[in-house]
Structure 1
Amino acid sequence: MKRIAVYCSSRFDPNMKYLESFNQLADQFISQGIDVIYGGANVGYMQVLAKRIAESTSQLIGVMPEFLVEKELVFEGCDEFIYVKDLPGRIQKIMEIADGFLVMPGGVGTYEELMDMLSWVQLGLHHKPVGVVNVDGFYDGIQTQLQRGLEDELISSSLSSQVFFHEDPAVVLEWMSSRSEEEYWDVFDEQGKQTAIVHPRSVPLMANQYHKVGMIVFVNEDKDVLIQKRAPHVAHPNLWDFSAGGSVLAGEDPVVGANREIMEELGVSYELQPKDFFFQFSHRNMIIDVYLVNKTFSNFDFSISNEVTEVKWVSLDTIGEMIADKSFKHSYVQTHILSKLYEKLS
């Protein structure tokens, strides 16, 4: 992570009991070469962090609304200063330019910023990690409230992997770095209608939530089907499966996602057409779009994703035998697709 936004207090508590944590955080930023985005002020704990970063090789970026500039609260040591119209504009700008968000002890403005980032990540407006440095249990109350919302299923289960609480700034930063490459899905309801929620792949979906999957079956003129063998290091290692397929990513059109899977897994370029759509069905937390393509390929490149080790053309009967001896993926998804192929190709 190159740029992290910090939300914190523009005041000091009487005993300055959070000062050590702010200095520890600054040490981590400086040692890791992380640039800091913050509210741009020269007061309170915001100033403590700003001074430390300004004296280092890390860049300090301030973002401040015009009415606060007029109150002469600007920290002059920023490497870059961005002026915005109002407080919502500040939150929006910081969200756009930061790689992640770290929350230190603060007041109601800090709480607002934290809740905005959590709300926006649930809505898919960003997919960036939110870390909370819970010094002296400062955020225990908010953490408890969020947990209650998760338990009562008023908050999507995805939140459990999108925010992290810990008292040590170094641990929070380590978690944020590990989450920066998370893959997200759009969430659909039982009727197949897309909701406003996005969900990290690493967290199980709730009972009434679904994500889109594309499965592509290539068939040649002899009605043989192209199948692929999964690599040893991926899910379902060394098992055979239909031609290509995988999850549709958040914000991705299902057809675009299916085209991407064809390229990533097989290394061939093919643009699916409306006539290629075969059928759709639901299983567990998946809504599966199946495409049937009458086309023969002979040259493949498995190096793009390294998920596949080999391919071959086989008959439907051979696939049935492979499912029976468990050398082919043998879930309901594969058997259902096979039955539909028999109906179509017989």
Structure 2
Amino acid sequence: MEIMDLYDENRQKTDKTYIRGSAQPKGFYRMVVHVCIFNKLGQLLIQQRTLNKKMPGLWDVTCGGAVSTHESSQMGAQRELFEELGLDIDFKHIRPLVTANFPMGFDDFYVINKDVDLESLSLQEEEVSDAKWASLDEVIKLRREEKFVRYKESFIRFLFDLSKDNRYVEI
């Protein structure tokens, strides 16, 4: 059972929580995180969702998930990255590069440049079936073929552009 903190419209944590999968109370928001790791070739590390997950079999950015109760955005990003891919990166001094607001909450996107050996990944069996490096053109092609999570193409391009910006974090 996943318990998540609830926030007000100004992203201030309230004293309320809710159980993932239950009806989220109206007027409250949850926090989710996504991590996008790019290599020196400008490719994005993407993962394929298992068939038992929501949006089964689709490719997605490096990792993502809900921030649990008593976690900060950074703590949630660090935990999700370790759980899903076995990558242990300290997010203590890493801030999200962009936040996408959605009707039920806030989605922090972390953009990191780091060459990762695919052989070193430890995929979470319940959630991740595969991982690979993909160029912008490859991700757009997957998206157009409806094999990638339904981010807007402009947002995908934006994430790739951000990876070239001097504000990203290189580890």
Q: Which residue is 2:82 aligned to?
A: 263
TM-score, normalized by length of structure 2? 0.87
Q: Which residue is 1:102 aligned to?
A: none
Identity of aligned residues (%): 26
Q: Secondary structure at the match of 1:195?
A: strand
Superposed, which structure 2 residues align to 1:68-217 within 5 Å? 182-217=1-36
Q: Is 1:302 matched with 2:157?
A: no
CA RMSD of aligned residues (A): 1.8
Q: Is the 1:276–1:293 Cα contact (8 Å) retained in structure 2?
A: no
User: Equivalent of 1:340, from 136, 158, 161?
Assistant: 158
Q: Distance in 2 between matches of 1:267 and 1:210?
A: 29
- AA paired with 2:57? N
Q: Secondary structure at the match of 1:274?
A: coil
Give the CA deviation at 1:276: 5.0
Give the CA deviation at 1:331: 4.2
CA 259–273 in structure 1, closer or farther in 2 if over 3 Å, else same: same
- AA paired with 1:315? S
Q: Is the 2:31–2:73 Cα contact (8 Å) retained in structure 1?
A: yes
Q: Distance in 2 between matches of 1:331 and 1:204?
A: 24
Instruction: Work out the number of aligned pairs and report it.
Output: 162
Gaps of 5+ in 1: 1-181
Q: Would you tell me which structure has more helix in proportion to its own residues?
A: 1
Q: Which residue is 1:156 aligned to?
A: none
Q: Would you tell me which structure has more strand in proportion to its own residues?
A: 2
Report which of the two structures shows the higher radius of gyration computed on alpha carbons: 1
Gaps of 5+ in 2: 165-171
Q: Is 1:319 matched with 2:139?
A: yes
Q: Distance in 1 between matches of 2:151 and 2:69?
A: 25
TM-score, normalized by length of structure 1? 0.44
- AA paired with 2:134? V
Higher relative CO (Cα under 8 Å, sequence separation at least 6) belongs to 2
Q: Distance in 1 between matches of 2:43 and 2:161?
A: 14
